[in-house]
Structure 1
């Protein structure tokens, strides 16, 4: 069994659930701030999480491990860039909401998929016995 926690460190993607993958199979979905305990059929495995923003690093785990999902501090800069991008579009008089919003969202998705902003890390290990 492993324990996986989705930290409440930044609001980015708070409304979206993360898919938790163990050895290439979806094991569960994790909401903002949620903690779950998952079984590892083989006692070891590789964990990765995905959502609209892309995927995290892969992490090798074993029974008793505790892992956390957090975000890179770069995520805040991406939000800031998105805000500035919106201001630039508005300055260029592309203020039509139905045009500006999709352009900003596409920009955000492309940038966040290029950068690995979601981080999986081990925060502890307990003996499974």
Structure 2
């Protein structure tokens, strides 16, 4: 018997694309990529890259919560996708302000474009043990 479950929540953006907001496999949660989209309106939030990073982190945290985790405290790895590495330091400021003592492992890459032309997107892995 498989211990794999799809995680869905109204507290994070959803769409009609063929993927889950998150997938729990045993004690590990894989959170799909999230940009700075408000789950209530479906619109990209206004503001600079720091504001957009905060909203993307809120979306990741909502999926972790829906899986029974403790928001960002259970996140162990994050991939950050930026459309401009010139935003790196500002993203670090917003990102670093949201995590406690044990920072997750992280990868940051520059990409040519993201859906809805947002500046930042994040995906994450969380440990829910």
Fold shared per TM-score above 0.5: no
Instruction: State the TM-score, normalizing by the size of structure 1.
Output: 0.27
As a proportion of its length, which structure holds more strand?
Answer: 1
Q: Which has the larger radius of gyration?
A: 1
Q: TM-score, normalised by structure 2?
A: 0.27
